[in-house]
C-alpha cells in the first residue's frame, strides 16, 4: 500500500523564502503540474516564464486586511482536505467545484528570526503566520492524498522524489513529510507561546529544539543519547573525535565555571567537578598551578581557560593526557602541538547566552528552575567575626566561593593564592567533605597553612570550623543563615579566625 504512487496534478505554493524554489517549479512544470500561488511567490514564479494561476482565481476574493487573509477559504482547504477515497467527499467536491490540490509548498513567516532581531511587537505580531500554518496542518492531516513541503530544507529531497518517480509520491513519503510538517508547526507555536509567556508567566512546560546530534552512546555504552541544541553556537570544533555524552556534561560544567572569572584562569574538570583551578597573570603559570592540585585526577580530564593558548602554554599542557581542551583562541603553533593526538578534542569557545532556565526529568515529570546567577563579590560580603580578612585573603575567599558554587554538594573548597588546593565533593556530610579535602591536599604535599575554606552551605555546628582551623585554615567563607551560626562564629572569635558570609547558598546535586 505504501508503495502505491499518486501523481501530482495540482500544486499550491506560497513561500517567504524564495531561494531554491525556481528549480522546484520548473520541475513541476515539466511534469504538467498546474500551479496556484499568492502575492510575491506568484510574481516570482511568473518571472520564470512558467504558467501560474492566482489563488484569487479559485476563491473570487482578493487578498484582504493587508495580506492577513489570502488563502483562508473553503475552495482552498476543501481542495486539500477532501478524502479522495471517500464517496461523500468526492460528491461534495464535485458539487461545490472544489479544485484537486495534491501538493502544498508553504513555509512560515520568520517569527523566530524576527524575535532575534529585537523587533518591536507590532512587527513581530505580523510575523505570526495564520494561513500558512493552517494549510501546512491541513495537508499533513490528509497525507493519504496530499504531499506537504513545509521548509526549503526539504527541497532537495522533493527534487529527488520528483525526478526518480516522474512527479509521483508514495504514501510512505507523504506520511514522512506530514510528520516533518507537524514538527515545524509545533516548534513554531511553541516559540510564539514562549514569547507571550514571558509576560503572562503561565506555569506550562514547553520546549522545542530542532537541532539534534546523535551521540555515540549515553552515560554508559548500553544507553542511547541525543543532544538537542546547536553546538556551533557554543564552540568551533577544531580537532578530535566525536564529542560524547560525558564529554558534554564536563564541557557544560567547564564553561559555567570559567564564566565566573575575569582574570586569566585555567580549570581542569573531571566528572563535572574541578580537580584543579588557578588564576594568575601568567597563563602558563596558571596552568602549572591548576595541575598541581591533583595531577592524578587531571588524567583524561577536560581543560578550559579564558585566554589565548600560545606555544609555551601548549608545550606544558601537552605533557599530560586529556580528553578535551577549550579556549577562546589558540595560536597556530599551539594548535600544531595540541593536534599531535588525533582523538584529542580541541574546542574554540564562543561568546553565547546561556539559557536562564534549567530543567531535568524527575520521576514521571520535569522540574524547572532559574539558573544560579548569584555568586557574591567583595561588595556583598558580611563580616561575621571580630577578625577581618586582609585583602589577599578576601581575594582567595572570593576565588574559593566561585569554585564551591560549581562543586557537587556537600562541597568544601580549600584555596590559597588564587589556587585550588583541594576540594571535598559530593559527600553525605560537610564534615566528610572537609576531611576528604584535607587528606587530598596532604596526599599531594600541599600545605594548608594560611589557606582559606569555602562551603556551599552553612555550618550548623562548629565541628567543620574546628577541623579546618587545626589543619591550618585561617579564613572562611560560607552562606550563613543557620540558627546556630553563633557556634561557628564563637569558635572563630576565640581562635582568631576570619569568617564572612555571602547570604547565598549553592547546593548542587
pLDDT value, residue 131: 87
Distance CA(325)–CA(302), nearest Å, equals 6
Q: Which of 18, 127, 141, 341 is catalytic?
A: 141
Average pLDDT for 114-137: 90
Contact assessment for residue 467 and residue 435, using Cβ atoms and an 8 Å cutoff: yes
Please give the residue that has the higher pLDDT: either 397 or 66.
397
Mind listing the pLDDT tens digit for each residue in 210-244? 889 999 999 999 999 999 999 999 999 999 999 99
pLDDT band at 17 (very low <50, low <70, confident <90, very high): very high
Q: Which of 271, 311, 341, 435 is catalytic?
A: 271
Cβ-based burial of 351 (10 A; exposed 0-12, middle 13-18, buried ≥19): exposed
pLDDT value, residue 61: 76
pLDDT band at 65 (very low <50, low <70, confident <90, very high): confident
Give the β-pairing of 301-305 and 265-270: antiparallel
The helix/strand/coil state of 251 is: helix
pLDDT band at 322 (very low <50, low <70, confident <90, very high): very high
DSSP string for residues in 300-360: TEEEEESS-B-HHHHHHHTTS-EEEEEES-B-HHHHHHHTTSTT-EEEEE---PPPSEEEE
For the chain, how many helices (H) and strands (E)?
A: 18, 23
Nearest to 377 by CA among 403, 395, 389, 353: 395
Average pLDDT for 190-199: 92
Average pLDDT for 361-384: 85
* In the chain, % of residues over pLDDT 90: 80
pLDDT value, residue 85: 92
Is pLDDT above 70 for 1? no
Average pLDDT for 291-319: 96
Please give the residue that has the higher pLDDT: either 352 or 380.
352
Mind listing the pLDDT tens digit for each residue in 266-284? 999 999 999 999 999 999 9
Residue 141 annotated in active site: yes
Q: What is the pTM of this model?
A: 0.86
Residue 271 annotated in active site: yes
Is pLDDT above 80 for 115? yes
The shares of helix, strand and coil residues in the chain, as percent rounded to the nearest 5, are: 40, 20, 40
Amino acid at each position: 500500500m505504501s508503495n502505491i504512487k499518486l501523481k501530482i496534478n495540482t500544486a499550491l505554493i506560497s513561500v517567504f523564502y524564495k531561494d531554491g524554489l525556481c528549480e522546484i517549479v520548473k520541475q513541476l512544470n515539466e511534469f504538467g503540474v498546474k500551479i496556484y500561488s499568492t502575492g510575491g511567490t506568484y510574481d516570482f514564479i511568473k518571472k520564470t516564464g512558467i504558467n501560474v494561476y492566482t489563488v484569487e482565481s479559485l476563491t473570487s476574493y482578493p487578498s484582504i486586511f493587508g495580506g492577513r487573509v489570502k488563502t483562508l477559504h473553503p475552495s482552498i482547504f476543501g481542495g486539500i482536505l477532501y478524502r479522495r477515497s471517500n464517496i461523500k467527499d468526492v460528491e461534495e467536491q464535485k458539487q461545490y467545484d472544489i479544485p484537486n490540490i495534491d501538493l502544498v509548498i508553504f513555509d512560515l513567516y520568520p517569527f523566530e528570526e524576527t524575535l532575534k532581531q529585537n523587533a518591536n511587537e507590532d512587527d513581530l505580531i505580523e510575523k505570526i503566520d495564520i494561513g500558512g500554518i493552517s494549510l501546512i496542518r491541513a495537508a499533513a492531516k490528509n497525507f493519504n492524498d496530499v504531499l506537504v513541503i513545509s521548509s526549503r530544507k526539504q527541497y532537495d529531497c522533493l527534487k529527488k522524489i520528483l525526478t526518480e518517480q516522474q512527479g509521483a509520491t508514495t504514501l510512505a513519503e507523504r506520511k514522512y513529510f506530514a510528520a516533518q510538517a507537524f514538527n515545524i508547526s509545533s516548534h513554531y507555536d511553541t516559540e510564539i507561546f514562549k514569547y507571550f509567556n514571558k509576560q503572562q508567566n503561565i506555569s506550562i512546560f514547553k520546549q522545542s529544539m530542532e537541532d539534534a546530534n546523535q551521540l555515540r552512546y549515553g552515560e554508559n555504552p548500553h544507553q542511547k543519547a541525543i543532544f538537542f541544541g546547536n553546538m556551533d553556537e557554543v564552540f568551533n570544533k577544531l580537532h578530535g573525535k566525536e564529542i560524547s555524552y560525558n564529554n558534554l556534561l564536563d564541557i557544560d560544567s567547564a564553561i559555567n565555571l570559567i564564566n565566573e572569572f575575569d582574570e586569566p584562569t585555567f580549570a581542569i574538570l573531571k566528572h563535572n567537578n574541578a580537580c584543579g583551578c588557578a588564576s594568575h597573570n601568567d597563563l602558563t603559570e596558571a596552568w602549572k598551578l591548576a595541575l598541581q592540585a591533583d595531577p592524578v585526577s587531571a588524567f583524561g580530564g577536560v581543560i578550559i581557560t579564558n585566554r589565548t593558548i600560545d606555544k609555551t602554554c601548549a608545550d606544558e599542557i601537552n605533557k599530560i593526557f586529556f580528553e578535551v581542551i577549550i579556549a577562546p583562541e589558540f595560536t597556530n603553533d599551539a594548535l600544531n602541538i595540541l593536534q599531535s593526538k588525533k582523538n584529542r578534542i580541541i574546542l574554540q569557545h564562543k561568546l553565547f547566552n546561556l539559557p536562564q532556565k534549567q530543567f531535568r526529568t524527575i520521576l514521571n515529570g520535569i522540574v524547572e528552575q532559574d539558573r544560579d546567577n548569584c555568586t557574591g563579590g567583595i561588595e556583598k560580603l558580611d563580616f561575621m567575626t571580630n577578625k577581618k580578612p586582609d585583602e589577599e585573603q578576601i581575594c582567595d575567599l572570593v576565588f574559593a566561593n566561585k569554585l564551591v558554587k560549581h562543586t557537587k554538594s556537600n562541597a568544601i573548597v580549600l584555596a590559597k593564592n588564587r589556587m585550588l588546593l583541594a576540594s571535598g565533593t559530593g559527600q553525605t556530610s560537610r564534615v566528610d567533605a572537609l576531611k576528604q579535602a584535607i587528606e587530598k591536599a596532604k596526599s599531594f604535599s600541599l600545605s594548608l597553612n594560611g589557606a582559606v575554606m569555602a562551603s556551599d552551605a552553612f555550618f550548623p555546628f562548629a565541628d567543620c570550623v574546628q577541623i579546618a582551623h587545626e589543619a591550618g585554615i585561617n579564613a572562611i567563607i560560607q552562606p550563613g543563615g543557620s540558627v546556630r551560626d553563633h557556634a561557628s562564629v564563637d569558635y572563630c572569635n576565640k581562635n582568631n579566625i576570619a569568617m564572612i558570609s555571602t547570604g547565598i547558598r549553592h547546593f548542587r546535586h
